[in-house]
A and B are shown apart, each in its own frame.
Chain A
Amino acid sequence: MTTTTAHSPSANINWLLLLLKARTFVALILVFTYFAFAAPNFLSVANAVLISKHVAINAFLAIGMTFVIITGGIDLSVGSVVGLTSMIAGYLVLNGIDPGFGWSIQFNTVEIMVMVCFVGVFVGWINGILITRLNVAPFIATLGMLYMARGAALLMSGGRTFPNLNGSAEYGSASFPLIGAGSFLGIPVMIWMLIIVTLASVYIARRTPLGRHIYATGGNERGAALSGVRVRRVKMFVYMFSGLMAALVGLIIASQLKAAHPATGEFFELNAIAAAVLGGTSMSGGRGRIMGTIIGAFVIGILSDGLIMMGVSSFWQMVIKGLVIVTAVVIDQAQSRLQARVALTQEAGS
């Protein structure tokens, strides 16, 4: 029984399994190689920076989404929270807070960032309370939040854009545009942020009890609870973290465009889900990896930018994107079946 499975019935199956497991990575290489040949200028440095900026926006949200989905939930509100937080960022840069006594409080860049992030976390907290305390299904709770946050974003300006977010040197917010547009050591600041967030997330997932509890909660909530996992806290964390990610994206977009528009972030939640699923996250919970999600985000990003560069119509782009996502899940199912079969033959052999 303790023998290894070196003499497994067929080495081919093991190879196939390995290939299927690494499918997102294989897809990335395929997509990348294809466009390197097919699209002119695809391999330029400028293009690489551009693509990675596009990918980063989605990757932040997708990381938050991955944690949420691993617990067996979903967060549909992130796109709207991006809109809301970018509007709040815009409002704070332009107006500060006006308590109504004829004077106003102005903030520097760091203070604005902290306040915006707090709003994102707070929205996530409300999602978490709805889900863990009031027993609203995650789909419904965050769907409600999708509408509420979008509505709040529109109400802030009556639907108008906050333009010219250049900040002011007087108040210390002149560095606001650097969040999305600045660079450090030749690499955009937002990419540095993504690297830090990714490393921290991988660390949380792999090397902390919290990460283990996230997987356990999604794998079997009742079992996890009976093992002493504080399931409610775990869920609160993932929704608050997802809110934080949305706030970061809101800040980045407002800073990049030097403007905040209330419609920012529409359908971002769907792209985030797509990246997570493409990266091998199971919608039923318990399974998924941060690095898989990052690769998934790159596949989607490279696919859409590459298709644009090739001049493929945006209508076709949507069709292709949809096909890729569905194919990924079909392969995912095939892999689970194959894996179950291999496990059974191992069991019978032992």
Chain B
Amino acid sequence: MTGKHPIGLTIRNAVKVYPGTRALKNVNFDIRMGAVNVLVGENGAGKSTLMKVISGVETLTEGEIAVDGTPVQFRNKDDAVRAGIGIVFQELNLFPDLSVSENIFIGREPTRLGLHIDMRDQATRSRDILTRLEQDIDPDTPLGFLRLGQQQVVEIAKALAQDAKILILDEPTSALSAVEVEVLFRVIAELRSQGVGIVYISHRLEELIRIGDYITVLRDGEVTGTRSMDGVDVPWIVEAMIGGEAKDFAAPIAHQIGDEVFRAEDVALAKMGGGYSVDHVSFSANAGEILGIYGLMGAGRTELLECIIGRHPEAQGHYFIKGEELRSTSIADRISHGIALVPEDRKVDGLIQMMAIRENLTLSSLKEFTRFMHLSLSREAQRAAEFISRLTIKVASAENPVSSLSGGNQQKVAIGKALMTKPSVLLLDEPSRGIDVGAKAEIYRVMRELSAQGIGIVFATSEIEEAMALSDRIIVMADGRITGVFDKSTPVAQVVAAASPGTSSVEGSAA
């Protein structure tokens, strides 16, 4: 279209199938050189998959990629690097104990005779790259001494040292302070003027509009909008992200919202290196209520829920179940007092992947089947079967390892495990992350049913649509603080605004 930004990489009719889900459905995407190509979409929309495909981490099921008009096939990351594609992941892959230059050249050290690392050459070249990025960083400093924003720049330098012509930045600002973001933006502007094609992924919409030249919106593995950034505003992006047709959020089941079942007071969790990831937060949840906690990456949603369940013994805070304060800090005690958590990451926190479905379901409630020391396997199996049918978990056998299930069914197992403890308040952290649309709808249905049974439900989410559609009340968090409490009838834009980091507290219309 525009001659001043030639297309460097194209991807056509891209399809990527994972067991149980289609992460990409016929995606077309162009990367323009000397421009910032913004990619935006909700969690699970396929952004990460698309970037993994472009950087050679994953291969396409169908479709083709062309660099400068020549079709290419990336079998691994090295192929992509050779084609000039560099990626900076959200989680930095750096070695804090090595120097900056060693980090930049890790795995590709310039050597003499293939054996002796040419430290001087390495340092000189590092200095050149850092100068190009207009950064005053000494290449000999141990990386761990740098601030997070500078570390990010080192990660970018690493990509540039491999002659990256296309640079993918996956949520680069999620962990940065406002000043560091400015530095990063200057670096990006500099690279753009040097003709580098930049792919920029972020959830912070204002940021995207400010820095982007082109925008592509993904939803459920499909491109729902792609255009030049001229004239794009937040409502347009939100519209393209969420779409006209509403997802199946399951109709609310009419029931009375009861008295307070849970209250947290003055919860604080200090962050490494100063500040708080949860900054003196207080809130309460009522029986039969669905309370949504909405916030961006790093807002402190997950940490708040982890504090409540007792994951961080060093955290401050007081917790009350039906008015009675919990004294013990151990997770086991909190669970037995009626708090249950379904963690965000099923693989690492939620389930024991190698154990059977039955064993996972009952892990938190073994006491129920135990007399003295003796565990009644028959009663356990019976109870597991009951929950499998109650939550309509699709299993061939309850004795199969939980890892053999699809994401949605695994999530139901995690919920089942939490429910079996008969909680008064159920905490769900990103309950619909990484599962397909059908399974999401079922999870929502389960949440509705549970709230109708009088359980207080507190769920954290980074999807505004989910927060708006499911919650009776919405708490918005940013920078570890509560920046607003809203009624479900509040306009979306107002809720989104409260979630931007740096905003001062906005009190909701009705709390």
Once the chains bind, are A225 and B331 in contact (CB under 8 Å)? yes
Is B343 at the interface (CB under 8 A from chain A)?
Answer: yes
Once the chains bind, are A220 and B348 in contact (CB under 8 Å)? yes
In the complex formed, the residue of A with least CB distance to B363 is A227
- In the docked arrangement, what's the CA distance between A211 and B374, Å? 11
Is B243 at the interface (CB under 8 A from chain A)?
Answer: no
Contact with B along A203-221 (1 / 0, CB 8 A): 0000111111101100110
In the complex formed, the residue of A with least CB distance to B376 is A207
Once the chains bind, are B370 and A209 in contact (CB under 8 Å)? yes
In the complex formed, the residue of A with least CB distance to B19 is A347
Given A207-B375, A208-B373, A348-B19, do A223 and B349 touch, yes or no (CB 8 Å)? yes
Is B504 at the interface (CB under 8 A from chain A)?
Answer: no
Is B1 at the interface (CB under 8 A from chain A)?
Answer: no
In the complex, which residues 1-57 of chain A have their Cβ closer than 8 Å to any Cβ of chain B?
A: 1-5
In the complex, which residues 174-219 of chain A have their Cβ closer than 8 Å to any Cβ of chain B?
A: 207-213, 215-216, 219
Once the chains bind, are A215 and B355 in contact (CB under 8 Å)? yes
> From residue B63, how far is it (CB to closest CB) to chain A in Å?
21
In the complex, which residues 257-289 of chain A have their Cβ closer than 8 Å to any Cβ of chain B?
A: 286-287
Given A226-B309, A228-B331, do A216 and B363 touch, yes or no (CB 8 Å)? yes
Q: Count A-side interface residues using an 8 Å CB cutoff.
A: 33
Once the chains bind, are B351 and A220 in contact (CB under 8 Å)? yes
Given A220-B352, A222-B348, A350-B396, do A227 and B417 touch, yes or no (CB 8 Å)? yes
In the complex formed, the residue of A with least CB distance to B342 is A226
Q: List the A side residues contacting B19 at CB < 8 Å.
A: 344, 347-348
> From residue B339, how far is it (CB to closest CB) to chain A in Å?
10
Is A229 at the interface (CB under 8 A from chain B)?
Answer: yes
In the complex formed, the residue of A with least CB distance to B362 is A212
> From residue A206, how far is it (CB to closest CB) to chain B in Å?
8
> From residue B244, how far is it (CB to closest CB) to chain A in Å?
32
Once the chains bind, are A222 and B349 in contact (CB under 8 Å)? yes
Partner of B336, one of A211, A220, A224, A228: A228
Given A229-B332, A343-B401, A350-B396, do A223 and B350 touch, yes or no (CB 8 Å)? yes
Q: List the A side residues contacting B353 at CB < 8 Å.
A: 219-220
Once the chains bind, are B364 and A228 in contact (CB under 8 Å)? yes
Is A346 at the interface (CB under 8 A from chain B)?
Answer: yes
Is B42 at the interface (CB under 8 A from chain A)?
Answer: no
- In the docked arrangement, what's the CA distance between A118 and B135, Å? 63
In the complex formed, the residue of A with least CB distance to B330 is A230
Partner of B366, one of A2, A212, A223, A350: A212
- In the docked arrangement, what's the CA distance between A2 and B374, Å? 32
Interface residues of B (CB under 8 A from A): 19-20, 309, 311, 330-332, 334-336, 341, 343, 348-355, 359, 363-364, 366-367, 370, 373-375, 377, 394-397, 401, 403-404, 406, 417, 421
Once the chains bind, are A216 and B396 in contact (CB under 8 Å)? no
> From residue A333, how far is it (CB to closest CB) to chain B in Å?
15
- In the docked arrangement, what's the CA distance between A90 and B348, Å? 49
Instruction: Please list 17 pairs of residues, one from A and one from B, whose beta carbons are closer than 8 Å in the complex, sorted by A's number.
Output: A4-B396, A5-B396, A207-B374, A207-B377, A216-B352, A220-B348, A220-B351, A222-B349, A226-B311, A226-B350, A227-B363, A228-B335, A286-B352, A286-B354, A347-B19, A347-B20, A348-B19
In the complex formed, the residue of B with least CB distance to A3 is B396
> From residue A266, how far is it (CB to closest CB) to chain B in Å?
35
> From residue B382, how far is it (CB to closest CB) to chain A in Å?
16
Given A1-B394, A222-B349, A343-B401, do A229 and B375 touch, yes or no (CB 8 Å)? no
Q: List the B side residues contacting A5 at CB < 8 Å.
A: 396
Given A1-B396, A227-B364, A230-B332, do A346 and B309 touch, yes or no (CB 8 Å)? no
In the complex, which residues 271-309 of chain A have their Cβ closer than 8 Å to any Cβ of chain B?
A: 286-287
Q: List the B side residues contacting A286 at CB < 8 Å.
A: 352, 354-355
- In the docked arrangement, what's the CA distance between A225 and B334, Å? 12
Partner of A219, one of B343, B355, B404: B355
Partner of A226, one of B20, B343, B355: B343
- In the docked arrangement, what's the CA distance between A346 and B394, Å? 13
Once the chains bind, are B332 and A208 in contact (CB under 8 Å)? no
- In the docked arrangement, what's the CA distance between A2 and B405, Å? 12
- In the docked arrangement, what's the CA distance between A85 and B367, Å? 36
> From residue A30, how far is it (CB to closest CB) to chain B in Å?
29
- In the docked arrangement, what's the CA distance between A222 and B345, Å? 11
Partner of A223, one of B351, B396, B404, B406: B351
Q: List the A side residues contacting B348 at CB < 8 Å.
A: 220, 222-223
Contact with B along A332-350 (1 / 0, CB 8 A): 0000000000011011101
Once the chains bind, are A226 and B349 in contact (CB under 8 Å)? yes
- In the docked arrangement, what's the CA distance between A227 and B364, Å? 5
Q: List the B side residues contacting A210 at CB < 8 Å.
A: 373
Q: List the A side residues contacting B355 at CB < 8 Å.
A: 215-216, 219, 286
- In the docked arrangement, what's the CA distance between A6 and B337, Å? 44
Partner of B363, one of A1, A208, A224: A224
Once the chains bind, are B404 and A347 in contact (CB under 8 Å)? yes
Once the chains bind, are B331 and A346 in contact (CB under 8 Å)? no
Question: What 9 additional pairs, Cβ within 8 angstroms, besides A226-B311, A228-B334?
Answer: A1-B394, A207-B377, A208-B374, A211-B375, A216-B352, A223-B349, A226-B309, A226-B341, A229-B363
> From residue A18, how far is it (CB to closest CB) to chain B in Å?
16
- In the docked arrangement, what's the CA distance between A216 and B373, Å? 17
Given A227-B363, A344-B19, do A212 and B330 touch, yes or no (CB 8 Å)? no
Q: List the B side residues contacting A222 at CB < 8 Å.
A: 348-349
- In the docked arrangement, what's the CA distance between A230 and B343, Å? 18
- In the docked arrangement, what's the CA distance between A220 and B347, Å? 9
Q: List the B side residues contacting A229 at CB < 8 Å.
A: 332, 363
Q: List the A side residues contacting B351 at CB < 8 Å.
A: 220, 223
In the complex formed, the residue of B with least CB distance to A212 is B366
- In the docked arrangement, what's the CA distance between A207 and B378, Å? 11
- Give the 3 A-B CB pairs with smallest separation, nearest first: A209-B366, A219-B352, A228-B335
- In the docked arrangement, what's the CA distance between A318 and B343, Å? 48
Q: List the A side residues contacting B401 at CB < 8 Å.
A: 343
Once the chains bind, are A228 and B343 in contact (CB under 8 Å)? no
> From residue B407, how far is it (CB to closest CB) to chain A in Å?
12
> From residue B308, how far is it (CB to closest CB) to chain A in Å?
12
Given A209-B375, A216-B355, do A2 and B341 touch, yes or no (CB 8 Å)? no
Once the chains bind, are B354 and A219 in contact (CB under 8 Å)? yes
- In the docked arrangement, what's the CA distance between A105 and B349, Å? 54
